[in-house]
Amino acid sequence: MTISTGDKLPDATLVQMGSEGPAPVALAEKTKGRKVVIFAVPGAFTPTCHSAHVPSFMRTKAEFDGKGVDEIICVSVNDPFVMKAWGESTGAADAGITMLSDPESAFTKAIGMDFDAPPAGLIARSKRYAMLVEDGTVKILNLEDNPGQCETSAGEGLLAEM
């Protein structure tokens, strides 16, 4: 079942690269009592994700801050080492975007956002989406119909609905 507006996020543990190495991040703790944007991409360093999706949230971060968003989180089914390198290479980390890894696709599968694209080498990856979450509940969910598109799930697309 795919998550919908009004649903509570499931308990999930993602992974972030810290100064001591990979560290677990309880998504419930990140969202409890907070307004958080979570956007997901099919893969770090993939063309649309790298050139459009992440940059859209870097461009709009100040506008999200102005709307009371406490944190913007990028999730991908990649390992935390890749997510750290990707955050550094795009400038997302310096822009204040939190890069979290869903290495086993557990969160992605739990919310029904997983897909496979074997010809592209993408297995158990995340569909492209963006959501506004308030105190653990999905308030806005923008899901792309095609993983190669980045329109409604871009920073500007989510901002237009807030």
Helices within 14-140 (DSSP H only): 27-31, 47-48, 54-66, 80-90, 92-95, 106-110
The answer on pLDDT for 137 being more than 80 is yes
Average pLDDT of 1-9?
A: 92
In which band, very low, low, confident or very high, does the pLDDT at 28 lie, cut at 50, 70 and 90? very high
Residue 2 lies in a domain: no
In which band, very low, low, confident or very high, does the pLDDT at 145 lie, cut at 50, 70 and 90? confident
Catalytic residue set: 49
Residue 51 lies in a domain: yes
Residue 37 lies in a domain: yes
**Domain of 71, in residue numbers:** 13-159
| pLDDT at site 115 | 81
Residue 153 lies in a domain: yes
Residue 8 lies in a domain: no
Query: Considering its fold, how many domains does the chain have in total?
Result: 1
Question: By percentage, how much of the chain surpasses pLDDT 70?
Answer: 99
127 or 121: which carries more pLDDT confidence?
A: 127
Residue 5 lies in a domain: no
Residue 18 lies in a domain: yes
Q: Is 134 left (phi over 0), alpha (psi -120 to 50) or beta?
A: beta
Q: CATH code at 124?
A: 3.40.30.10
**Bridge partners for 75 per DSSP:** 40, 100
Residue 36 lies in a domain: yes
